[in-house]
C-alpha cells in the first residue's frame, strides 16, 4: 500500500489525526483526555501518513522551542502497525526540524517503544518516569 507522509494539509486531515490520537491514546491506552489534549496542538506542526483514499493512518506532532523540537503524539492505526509508518514519520520529523533550524529533537518515549527511537538515532537521557499512567523515558537526538 502506498502511503504519503507529509504535513497535514487541511482541517479535515488534522481532525482525522486528532481522532486517531484519541483512539490510540485515550481508548487503547487509557490516557486521560486532559493529558492527550494539552492545548498545544495549534502551536505544532502535524505530520500525517495518508493512504490513497485520504485516510490518515499515522500522525505525530512537532513543537519548536528555540533550537529544539519536541516530538510527540506519535500514533499509528493498529491495523497498519509494523509497516514502517512510524519510521517514516520519524524521518519526516528530522527533515522538518532541520528545515526549521533545530539542532536537536527531544521526546518522551513509552518504554515499550524505546527501541524504535534508538533505531532512529535517539539516546536516553535521565531516569524512567510515569506520564499519564504509562512508563516513559526522555530521549534526545542531535541533528547533524
Taking CA atoms, 110 is separated from 7, 34, 120, in Å, by 24, 18, 15
The residue segments making up the domain with residue 92 are: 4-104
C-alpha grid cell, residue 59: 500522525
pLDDT more than 70, % of the chain: 99
The domain total for the chain is: 1
Q: Model pTM? A: 0.95
Here the CATH number for the domain that contains residue 84 is: 3.40.630.30
Is residue 137, in this structure, part of any structural domain at all?
no
What are the pLDDT digits (tens) for 27-71?
Answer: 999 999 999 999 999 999 999 999 999 999 999 999 999 999 999
Amino acid at each position: 500500500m502506498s502511503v504519503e507522509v507529509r504535513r497535514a494539509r487541511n482541517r479535515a486531515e488534522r481532525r482525522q489525526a486528532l481522532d486517531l490520537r484519541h483512539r490510540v491514546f485515550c481508548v487503547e491506552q487509557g490516557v486521560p483526555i486532559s493529558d492527550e489534549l494539552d492545548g498545544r496542538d495549534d502551536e505544532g506542526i502535524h505530520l500525517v501518513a495518508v493512504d490513497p483514499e485520504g485516510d490518515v493512518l499515522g500522525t505525530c506532532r512537532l513543537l519548536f522551542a528555540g533550537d529544539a523540537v519536541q516530538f510527540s503524539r506519535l500514533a499509528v492505526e493498529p491495523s497498519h502497525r509494523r509497516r514502517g509508518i512510524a519510521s517514516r514519520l520519524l524521518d519526516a520529523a528530522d527533515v522538518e526540524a532541520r528545515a526549521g533550524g533545530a539542532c536537536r529533537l527531544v521526546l518522551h518515549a513509552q518504554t515499550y517503544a524505546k527501541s524504535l527511537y534508538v533505531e532512529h538515532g535517539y539516546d536516553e537521557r535521565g531516569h524512567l518516569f510515569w506520564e499519564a499512567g504509562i512508563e516513559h523515558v526522555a530521549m534526545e537526538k542531535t541533528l547533524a
